[in-house]
């Protein structure tokens, strides 16, 4: 007997599937249900390492947090991490399988059905109900054969479907209608309702359009979700946050690399009222930056080539000469070094390249991938401030960085290993630790040093990042309770 379930599919990418899945998970949790999220296949560079060292998509981690449970790789059995315009690293049940181009992976998909079904059934055994997320749109008729993530997945687990349309983009009635009409008859039978997302204005102005659409496709509207700002991790770099512009006292620059990964490393800064995050996309956008972050990368060598060709390398070095602190995370840490070597062509066709040269180090890319949660004790000084707290995070990287100079580490891991590097009191810093800024001491110390230098007051944020996230999930749940017919959704889940 199948457990109650529901699947949110969209009329396209970035219509709000991930966030609404998280929100419904929180609502069901609040109603006393042990709920688990599930997405069979994720394509994203934003990933996480579970307690047992498995790699999974960050979106399902967020949804698990909203549901109040520990993330498990079964929630995202297939993760595709694009490494080029046509190829991706294929990760199955949290472990790297191999690199494949699009055609090779499409031919391989039929063999993955058993893996996906097994992962889903494990979650069914352990939880009261499952909230599933689709990918892109189910109306991609060229990809219907051997589909594992939209209607193919709904059929595999015998799950009802709700369509989500984004009215903020315009054309929401046409997109919902067109998506529904492109489905096969047996797929249409699975669709039990639709949701209009990101609405601004007077909801009564929608009533006539909703009634007309309900009449044309014969399924009900389950609610209209208002547009509201939140600070919940997005699924991937399609996120609209890359276009946001603000004017705050503290300006943190993040290089918008072509293969940027784990951009949620910087989400904790968003809880600070006086902090602005600028995603730098050209050599003309470096003015006024107080602190520069070079982020993680799925293809470090190619992104280093990009920095050189766009003139951004020169601008980074100019910032360094001006005394602006530069902080590299994972691939960004590798880029800070003198050289990156990939003789096995595991990430790039280029065998080696010079880095920024701000740290005397050489990174060699190997086939093996380090994936584990880590913790340790900070052991460095940042512009006269001693950092000594214990911190935790996770590592996801190919390659080993060898320091060629006597340099202070950022922390000592619980294993006794020296991790990261800090030069000139914090003028240049690098670490492999994703989630470093989730920890209070490094984030607060860096921000307060910038504030002191600029002569502005310290920020007012007092809660921890975990408390901040919990508040965001609670607010999301409250919005959905008010705007959706939750009782009807639960009825659909029960069949």
CATH code of the domain in which 325 resides: 3.40.50.880
Are 187 and 309 part of one and the same domain?
no
CA angle 147, 148, 154 (to 5 degrees): 100
Are 273 and 201 part of one and the same domain?
no
Are 337 and 407 part of one and the same domain?
yes
User: Is 324 domain-assigned?
Assistant: yes
DSSP string for residues in 63-127: HHHHHTS---GGGSSEEEEE-SSSEEEEEETTEEEEEEEHHHHHHHGGGGHHHHHHHHHHHHHH-
Are 451 and 303 part of one and the same domain?
yes
Are 306 and 198 part of one and the same domain?
no
How do residues 115-134 score in pLDDT, each as one tens digit?
Answer: 999 999 999 999 999 999 99
pLDDT at 238: 43
| CATH at 128 | 3.40.50.300
User: Is 463 domain-assigned?
Assistant: no
- Catalytic residue status for 434: yes
User: Is 60 domain-assigned?
Assistant: yes
Catalytic-labelled residue, pool 127, 259, 397, 434:
434
User: Is 465 domain-assigned?
Assistant: no
User: Is 464 domain-assigned?
Assistant: no
How do residues 287-343 score in pLDDT, each as one tens digit?
Answer: 999 999 999 998 999 999 999 999 999 999 999 999 999 999 999 999 999 999 999
DSSP string for residues in 419-487: E-EEEGGGTEEEES-BTGGGSHHHHHHHHHHHHHHHT-PPP---S-HHHHHHHHHHHHHHHHHHHB-HH
User: Is 428 domain-assigned?
Assistant: yes
Are 285 and 209 part of one and the same domain?
no
What 3-state class would DSSP assign to 57?
strand
Using alpha carbons, select from 148, 142, 187 the residue that is nearest to residue 42: 148
- Report CA torsion sign: 338, 367, 395, 244: positive
Are 425 and 476 part of one and the same domain?
no
User: Is 266 domain-assigned?
Assistant: yes
Are 45 and 157 part of one and the same domain?
yes
Domain containing 358: what range?
A: 250-455
Catalytic-labelled residue, pool 157, 259, 330, 397:
330
pLDDT at 240: 45
Are 149 and 111 part of one and the same domain?
yes
- Give the residue ranges of the chain where pLDDT is below 70: 1, 84-86, 234-246, 459-462
Task: Say how many C-beta atoms besides its own lie within 10 A of residue 441's C-beta.
Answer: 16
Helix 207-217 × helix 172-181 angle, to 10° = 10
- Catalytic residue status for 379: no
Are 295 and 173 part of one and the same domain?
no
Q: pTM score, two decimals?
A: 0.90
Are 300 and 174 part of one and the same domain?
no
Are 112 and 77 part of one and the same domain?
yes
Q: How many domains does the chain have?
A: 2
User: Is 418 domain-assigned?
Assistant: yes
């Amino acid at each position: 007997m199948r457990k109650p379930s529901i699947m949110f599919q969209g009329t396209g990418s970035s219509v709000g599937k991930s966030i609404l899945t998280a929100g419904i998970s929180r609502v069901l949790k609040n109603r006393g249900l042990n709920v688990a999220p599930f997405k069979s296949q994720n394509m994203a560079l934003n990933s996480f390492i579970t307690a047992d060292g498995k790699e999974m998509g960050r979106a399902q981690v967020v949804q698990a947090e909203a549901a109040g449970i520990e993330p498990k790789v079964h929630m995202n059995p297939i993760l595709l991490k694009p490494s080029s315009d046509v190829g991706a690293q294929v990760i199955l049940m949290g472990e790297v399988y191999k690199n494949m181009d699009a055609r090779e992976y499409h031919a391989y998909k039929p063999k993955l059905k058993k893996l996906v079904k097994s992962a889903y059934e494990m979650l069914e055994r352990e939880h009261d109900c499952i909230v599933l997320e689709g990918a892109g749109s189910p109306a991609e008729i060229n990809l219907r054969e051997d589909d594992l993530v939209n209607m193919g997945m709904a059929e595999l687990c015998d799950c009802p479907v709700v369509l989500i349309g984004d009215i903020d983009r315009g054309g929401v009635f046409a997109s919902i209608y067109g998506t529904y009409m492109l489905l096969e008859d047996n797929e249409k039978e699975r669709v039990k309702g639709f949701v209009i997302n990101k609405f601004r204005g007077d909801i009564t102005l929608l009533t006539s359009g909703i009634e007309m659409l309900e009449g044309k496709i014969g399924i009900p509207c389950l609610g209209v979700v208002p547009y509201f700002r939140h600070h919940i991790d997005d699924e991937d770099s399609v996120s609209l946050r890359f276009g946001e512009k603000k004017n705050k006292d503290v300006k943190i620059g993040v290089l918008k690399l072509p293969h940027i990964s784990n951009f949620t490393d910087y989400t904790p800064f968003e809880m600070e009222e006086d902090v602005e995050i600028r995603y730098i996309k050209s050599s003309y956008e470096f003015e006024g930056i107080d602190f520069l972050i070079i982020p993680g990368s799925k293809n470090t060598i190619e992104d280093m080539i990009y920095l050189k060709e766009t003139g951004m390398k020169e601008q980074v070095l100019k910032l360094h000469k001006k005394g602006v602190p530069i902080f590299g995370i994972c691939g960004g840490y590798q880029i800070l070094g003198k050289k990156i070597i990939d003789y096995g062509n595991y990430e790039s066709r280029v065998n080696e390249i010079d880095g920024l040269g701000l740290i005397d180090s050489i990174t060699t890319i190997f086939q093996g991938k380090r994936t584990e949660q880590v913790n340790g004790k900070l052991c460095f000084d940042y512009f006269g401030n001693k950092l000594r707290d214990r911190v935790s995070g996770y590592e996801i990287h190919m390659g080993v960085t060898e320091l060629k100079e006597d340099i202070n580490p950022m922390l000592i891991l619980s294993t006794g290993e020296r991790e990261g590097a800090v030069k000139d009191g914090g003028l240049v810093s690098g670490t492999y630790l994703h989630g470093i800024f989730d920890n209070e001491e490094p984030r607060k110390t860096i921000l307060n040093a910038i504030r002191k230098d600029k002569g502005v007051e310290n920020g007012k944020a007092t809660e921890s990042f975990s408390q901040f996230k919990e508040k965001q999930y609670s607010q999301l749940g409250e919005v959905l309770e008010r705007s959706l017919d939750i009782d009807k959704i639960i009825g659909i889940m029960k069949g």
